[in-house]
Every structure is written in structure tokens, then in C-alpha cells.
Amino acid sequence: MENVHVIDHPLIQHKLTIIRDKNTGTKDFRDVVNEIARLLAYEVSRELPLKDIEIETPLVKTTQKTIAGKKVVIVPILRAGLGMVDGMLDLIPAARVGHIGMYRNEETMEPVEYFCKMPQGIDERELLIVDPMLATGGSAIAAIDALKKRGAKEMKLVVLVAAPEGIKKINEAHPDVAIYTAAIDEKLNDKAYIEPGLGDAGDRLFGTL
């Protein structure tokens, strides 16, 4: 496995256990997903470029750092990715948000794009693609393909739980895209759910079980 960062901070591990628990209800699930997304945003933004600016403190003029370049774009893959957006925006409040929607064609089992609305200039921005679960990798690969086709160059994939199978697929299809995850789980089962996992993230976020 390449280009994968596991953010195994104790707070993240603790919160992951809460959302894995089947007895955690919709409200707490939603809140804790956002709390983990906030902590992941801190790590993912570690390498954002800085530039010098001149400011005045109450005492003196000084040169200090500020984030350089165009605003980051948070890109939730619909629908479950929406659950991570508010948490990420808490730390990166000026970020733009682009949405991409994928559904699975039941005959071919291939992901199909049904919605894509991005801000201007994605070729000059860093994109943080968010989706709680990296399972087969199918929808993430299709989303990255679609964004590259529209000119995106710099992308990171930010997930809560990843299956080794999905990581391998992303590495093969898009070796330039770094994966940030709170955990790498054991495996995919025969229904393409991650085990131990947390179930269907979209259903648990939106109470559609």
C-alpha cells in the first residue's frame, strides 16, 4: 500500500469506536463523523503552502505566515461524503465546496456520474475529496477520473475507514492521489461492505436504515 496516511490519534480511535457501535443513533453518529472529519482536516492541511505577509502587532511591524494560493475545495462524494463537510469547514472555513454524485449502474455495476458542480479554477486548487468509506474504490476512482477530466491536478482522498482492497485500487488507478484515513479495516465482505466497518455510512448519517 502506497501513499496512504493512517491518522491513528487516540481521539480519532475513540470516536471511531463510537460510530462503529451499532447502538449509536443518527444524531450522535452525525456529530461524531463531523468531529473525526475536523481532526482529519487538521492533518490533511499540514502541508498547505504558506507565504510571508507584513502585519503590525500592537507593538511592532513584523513578517508572518499566511496560507498561500487559491482556496482549497472540499469535494464530498454524494451522498455520504456530505456528512464530513461541516467538520472540515470548521477548520478550513474559507474552503469552496464542490459536489460530485455517483450511482452504480445495476447492470454493469460501474459507477456513473449524475451530478458535478465545481468552483472555478479547480486546476489551480487543492481538492480534498471526502467520503466516509473507501470500500471497492469504484466511486472514488470514478470521481477522481471525472475531476481530472475537468482539469484538477492536486487531490487528496479523505476517508474514515478504508478497506485494503480499495486502497490498492486507488494506488493502481491514481498513484498521485494520497489517501488519508482514520483506519484500515480487515476486508470487504461478499456484499462489498467493509468489516468490521460501521455499516452503511449514508444510511446511518441520514437515518434511512
Task: Please report, in range form, the residues annotated as the binding site for 5-phospho-alpha-D-ribose 1-diphosphate.
Answer: 79, 104, 131-139, 200
What is the CB-side half-sphere exposure of residue 104 using CA atoms within 13 A? 11
Segment lying near ligand URA (by CB under 6 A), choices 83-91, 97-105, 140-148, 200-208: 200-208
What are residue 115's DSSP bridge partners?
101
Please state the closest distance from residue 17 (CB atom) to ligand URA, in A.
Answer: 16
**Binding of ligand URA at residue 201 (CB under 6 A)?**
yes
Closer of 42 and 193 to ligand URA (Cβ): 193
Cβ nearer to ligand URA, comparing 80 with 85: 80
According to the binding rule CB under 6 A, does residue 133 interact with ligand URA? yes
- Asked if residue 191 lies in contact with residue 164, where contact means CB atoms within 8 angstroms, the answer is no
List binders of ligand URA among 32-61 (CB under 6 A).
Answer: none
Which listed range, 6-14, 18-26, 98-106, 197-205, lies at the site for ligand URA (CB under 6 A)? 197-205
User: Interface with ligand URA includes 197 (CB under 6 A)?
Assistant: yes
What do you get for the CA distance between the two ends of the chain, in Å?
Answer: 33
Q: How many residues bind ligand URA (CB under 6 A)?
A: 9
Q: What would the grid cell of residue 35 be?
A: 468531529
Q: How many CB atoms lie within 10 A of CB 117?
A: 9
Q: Lay out the site mask for ligand URA across 73-102 (x = CB under 6 A, - = otherwise).
A: -------x----------------------
- Assign 106 to helix, strand or coil: coil
The set of catalytic residues is 104, 108, 200, 203
CB atoms within 10 A of CB 94: 8
DSSP letter for each residue of 137-204: SHHHHHHHHHHHHTT--EEEEEEEEE-HHHHHHHHHH-TTSEEEEEEE-SEE-TTS-EESS-S-HHHH
**Does residue number 194 form part of the binding site for ligand URA (CB under 6 A)?**
yes
Among residues 28, 54, 2, the alpha carbon closest in space to that of 162 is found at 2
Taking CB under 6 A as the criterion, the residue among 135, 141, 157, 183 binding ligand URA is 135
- List contacts with ligand URA (CB under 6 A): 80, 133, 135, 193-194, 197, 200-202
